[in-house]
């Protein structure tokens, strides 16, 4: 187990899982199917990937403010990520995560992660551990 990486807490909670990393921002409204959790945005680097039960790592959310509802719908439809990790969380993603009770932290470069890595996110105490 590697060292704790300290991060800022956006939405509390804890989660352990496999990272899914995007270097591009994510527009939840146009980019993710809320029923399946699959990334549908054309030419997005995660196009075709499913975010269900992943630790979703991306720089920040972009585009529509309806993204908050999409995050809530993902949770209701049981296809939400286990946690989100951002470089700088935006209000749309933050509100969606807080409301849907999805742990979310920020303040760390996306380039520190690779898809498939096992990560523990402790958004109660503000740290991440790579396992």
Partner 1 sequence: MSIFLSKKEERILNGEEGEILQKCYRLLVQLGEAFGADRLIPIKSVHLSGISYQSIGDSGLEFLEEISHQVKFKVRTTLNPCGMDLRQWRAVGIDESFAEKQFRILRALKTMGAVMTLTCTPYYLAPPKYGDHLSWAESSAVCYVNSVLGARTNREGALSALASAIAGVTPNFGAHKEEGRKPELLVKVKAKLKSVSDYSALGFIVGTQAGNRIPFFKGLKAGAEEMKAIAASLATAGSIPMFHVEGLTPEWKKQKIVGLEKLEIDLRDIHRIYDEFEGGEGEAVFIGCPHLSVKELHELCLKKPKMKTFVCAARGLSPSLFRCLRRSGFIVLHDMCPVVSPLSKKYSKLVVDSFKAAHYLGERGVLKKREELVE
Active site residues: 64
Among 13, 32, 34, 46, the residue binding partner 1 under the rule CB under 8 A is 34
Question: 81: buried, middle or exposed (CB in 10 Å: 19+, 13-18, 0-12)?
Answer: buried
Report the alpha-carbon distance of residue 78 to residue 100 in Å, rounded: 11
By CB under 8 A, residue 46 contacts partner 1: no
Applying the rule CB under 8 A, the residues between 90 and 119 that interact with partner 1 are 90-96, 98-99
Q: Give me the phi and psi of 93, to 5 degrees please.
A: -70, -40
Residues of this chain that bind partner 1 (CB under 8 A): 8-12, 25, 29-30, 34, 42, 59-69, 72-73, 76-77, 88-96, 98-99
């Amino acid at each position: 187990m590697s060292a704790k990486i300290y991060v800022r807490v956006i939405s509390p909670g804890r989660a352990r899982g496999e990272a899914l990393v995007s270097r591009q921002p994510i527009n939840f409204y146009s980019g993710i199917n809320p029923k399946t959790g699959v990334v549908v945005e054309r030419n997005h680097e995660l196009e075709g990937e499913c975010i269900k039960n992943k630790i979703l790592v991306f720089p920040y959310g972009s585009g529509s403010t309806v993204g908050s509802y999409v995050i809530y719908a993902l949770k209701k439809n049981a296809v939400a990520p286990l946690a989100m990790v951002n470089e700088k969380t935006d209000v749309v993603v933050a509100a969606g995560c807080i409301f849907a009770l999805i742990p979310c932290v920020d303040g760390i470069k996306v380039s520190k992660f690779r898809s498939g890595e096992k990560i523990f996110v402790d958004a109660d105490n503000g740290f991440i551990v790579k396992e």
